[in-house]
Amino acid sequence: MQRAYLLHARPYQESKLLVQLLSEHDGLIGAVVRVGTSKAQRANRAILQPFQPLLVELSGRSQLKTLRRFESAAAAIPLLGKPQYAGLYINEICVRLLAEQDPNLHLFERYHQSLLQLAKGLPLEPVLRYFEWTLLDNLGAAPSLTDDIHGEPLTDNCWYQLIPQQGFSPCQVHEPGANYNGGTLKALGNQYLADEHWPQAKILLRQLLTPLLGDKPLTSRQLFQQRKGEPHD
């Protein structure tokens, strides 16, 4: 058995679920699991929830696996309010962007640690930005944060423009929201962003993720916006 997390589930045929898992050794996996209606089966089904650490056993030679056995590996990671929406966002971008059966232990560990950090109430910005960067790196879509497109080291007091699929090019004039400070880029690469770096880091990561995600809106983002619009009790 291997460690895994449920990212998404939906009904599939009669008494079955089609699930997408982020697993320790196999990466993103699509699998079918049979769920029954007995008391024991319902209790077992309740384990298949987001943010619940799992141990799973998969079988099958096709891309769509069978989830033969699963059990709780630890208590569910409690996420409420904004941390819950942040966790759902992480789940959604994994499902949307990861190729199936492309294992990456570093990404799995980053995912696990991100959930723990959200549960501890750590600020959302660093948790989300560092996970997004790890995901982009896993996809091969992360530009160099050490050198520009000419092979010169990034400099703290210089500004750079992102050239899609190439990297960062020095620019003469700073245009807010259009280019990035070398110090911010290096800090992101070192995962040591200070408070003044977060706005630029968020803009950069959105610029990198948007072409990959396409035009389809993120459900987790829509849910969060709807929740913010609800009247307070």
Q: What is residue 40's predicted lDDT score, i.e. its pLDDT?
A: 62
- Name the burial class of residue 135, with classes exposed (0-12), middle (13-18) and buried (19+) by CB atoms within 10 angstroms of its CB: buried
CB atoms within 10 A of CB 197: 22
Give me the residue label for tokens 């232990």.
Answer: 105
| pTM of the predicted structure, to 2 decimals | 0.90
Q: What is residue 174's predicted lDDT score, i.e. its pLDDT?
A: 75
Q: Which residue blocks in 62-197 are alpha helix, DSSP H?
A: 82-97, 105-119, 124-139, 182-190
Report yes or no: 220 and 89 within 8 Å, Cβ to Cβ. Answer: yes
Question: Do the domain assignments include residue 230?
Answer: no
Three-class DSSP labels, 32-73: EEECCCCHHHHHHHCCCCECCCEEEEEECCCCEEEEEEEEEC
Q: What is residue 229's predicted lDDT score, i.e. its pLDDT?
A: 54
| Strands 159-163 vs 64-72: parallel, antiparallel or unpaired | unpaired
- Tell me how many domains the chain contains: 1
Q: What is residue 172's predicted lDDT score, i.e. its pLDDT?
A: 80
Question: Do the domain assignments include residue 132?
Answer: no
Structural domain boundaries, residue 49: 1-76
Give me the residue label for tokens 């520009």.
Answer: 148
Q: What is residue 231's predicted lDDT score, i.e. its pLDDT?
A: 38
**What CATH number should be reported for the domain holding residue 22?**
2.40.50.140
In a 13 Å sphere around the CA of 92, the CA atoms on its Cβ side amount to 17
Q: What is residue 228's predicted lDDT score, i.e. its pLDDT?
A: 63
| Strands 180-181 vs 159-163: parallel, antiparallel or unpaired | antiparallel
- Name the burial class of residue 38, with classes exposed (0-12), middle (13-18) and buried (19+) by CB atoms within 10 angstroms of its CB: exposed
Question: Do the domain assignments include residue 139?
Answer: no
Question: Do the domain assignments include residue 184?
Answer: no
Question: Do the domain assignments include residue 116?
Answer: no
Q: Which residue blocks in 27-81 are alpha helix, DSSP H?
A: 39-45
Please tell me the distance from the alpha carbon of residue 30 to that of residue 102, in angstroms, as a whole number. 12
Q: What is residue 225's predicted lDDT score, i.e. its pLDDT?
A: 78
Q: What is residue 39's predicted lDDT score, i.e. its pLDDT?
A: 65
Question: Do the domain assignments include residue 108?
Answer: no
| Strands 64-72 vs 27-34: parallel, antiparallel or unpaired | parallel
Please tell me the distance from the alpha carbon of residue 144 to that of residue 172, in angstroms, as a whole number. 20
Q: What is residue 233's predicted lDDT score, i.e. its pLDDT?
A: 35
Give the closest residue to 110 by CA, choosing from 86, 77, 135, 83. Answer: 135
Question: Do the domain assignments include residue 60?
Answer: yes
Cα distance from N-terminal residue to C-terminal residue, the chain: 45
In the predicted model, residues of the chain with pLDDT beneath 50 are: 230-233
Question: Do the domain assignments include residue 115?
Answer: no
Give the closest residue to 168 by CA, choosing from 149, 141, 189, 146. Answer: 149
